[in-house]
Amino acid sequence: MKTWMITGCSSGLGRSLAYAVLRKGYQAVVTARNTDTLADFEKEFPQTALILPLDVTDPAAVSQAVEAAERFGSIDVLVNNAGYGYRAAVEEGEKEDTDRLFATNFWGPVSLMKAVLPGMRRMRSGAIVNISSIAALGTSPGSGYYAASKCALEGLSEGLLREISPLGIKVMVVEPGAFRTDFAGRSLTQSETCIRDYEMTAGKRRIGKDMTHGTQPGDPDKGASLIMEAVEAEHTPFRLLLGSDAVRFADEVLEERRKEYNDWRRFSKQSDFKSCYEISGIYHF
């Protein structure tokens, strides 16, 4: 029986995914900072759900949670879902806020990946799913720091994929669009600093002006089912877009990037010591 470990299960996509996994008959390590929100899992799935408190920013807590999960034998799938949003113009961002953001959205997932990888390497199987965002594809004003945390997670994930796929371990990054969760509600924070010159850019997206909460098109239950299906597919994608809005946005971003690359292609090639046609080999960075 497969065992999934999922962070951030108090609400939203994490909660829906935990339910989907358990209803399929799998075992699940269901975590959140406040386990009071998880009592229903223990009541409905007493044999297959393990409820654990977990603050992903605490390395000791991460190690303890992974050790406790050994009650089920092994962790087959890790889902790094815990995270939150932060709104601020780049100049408005406060160090304490941004350090906490990266501790949760980036370093927390890193700690968990490093904690479960020894077991997955021994089994020569497993999957790591990192919940990212379409903000990693294209960043809106006011979301620079949040997008940077997700870009960092995606970059690390791609390097990890190339390191562990030969060992039989999958890596998938999920890029959701707008889902009807608490992301734009209680999970959204912002800088206390507010600079008037950004009123027409980042200022338009400050919390008091964001009316999207409760109107997002994405259904968390459907999203959870698709994540499960993709993880269990023979050829799991590295990047999985979720939501029709995510697909439209990705198409627009890719088209815009391709146009810019092509417009500057001849110019870009002029930086080589020799013509690019004289150089053989491919360089990886």
Give the model's confidence band at 210: pLDDT under 50 very low, under 70 low, under 90 confident, else very high: low
Tens-digit pLDDT profile for residues 100-110: 999 999 999 99
Tens-digit pLDDT profile for residues 241-254: 999 999 999 999 99
In angstroms and rounded to an integer, the radius of gyration of the C-alpha atoms of the chain is 20
pLDDT given at position 215 = 65
Q: Which of 238, 223, 247 is nearest to 130 (CA)?
A: 238
pLDDT given at position 282 = 58
Residue with token string 């020569």 = 124
Please state which of the ranges 4-8, 111-115, 210-214, 271-275 shows the lowest mean pLDDT. Answer: 210-214
Give the model's confidence band at 111: pLDDT under 50 very low, under 70 low, under 90 confident, else very high: very high
- How far apart, in whole angstroms, are the C-alpha atoms of residue 80 and residue 160? 14
The answer to whether residue 165 is catalytic is no
Give the model's confidence band at 212: pLDDT under 50 very low, under 70 low, under 90 confident, else very high: low
Tens-digit pLDDT profile for residues 34-69: 999 999 999 999 999 999 999 999 999 999 999 999
Residue 98 has pLDDT above 70, yes or no: yes
Structure-block tokens of residue 28: 């699940």
Q: Which of 149, 150, 157, 187 is catalytic?
A: 150
Residue 268 has pLDDT above 80, yes or no: yes
Give the model's confidence band at 78: pLDDT under 50 very low, under 70 low, under 90 confident, else very high: very high
Q: Which of 10, 132, 133, 191 is catalytic?
A: 132
Residue 216 has pLDDT above 80, yes or no: no
CB hemisphere CA count around 157 (13 angstroms): 30
Q: Which of 86, 145, 146, 198 is catalytic?
A: 146
- How far apart, in whole angstroms, are the C-alpha atoms of residue 146 and residue 151? 9
pLDDT given at position 71 = 87
Domain ranges of the chain: 3-278
The answer to whether residue 125 is catalytic is no
Query: What is the CATH number that goes with domain 3-278?
Result: 3.40.50.720
The answer to whether residue 19 is catalytic is no
Beta-sheet pairing, 85-87 with 27-32: unpaired
Give the model's confidence band at 29: pLDDT under 50 very low, under 70 low, under 90 confident, else very high: very high
Please state which of the ranges 14-18, 143-147, 184-188 shows the lowest mean pLDDT. Answer: 184-188
Please state which of the ranges 173-187, 198-212, 213-227 shows the lowest mean pLDDT. Answer: 173-187
* Residues 6+ away with beta carbon under 8 Å from 214: 180, 185
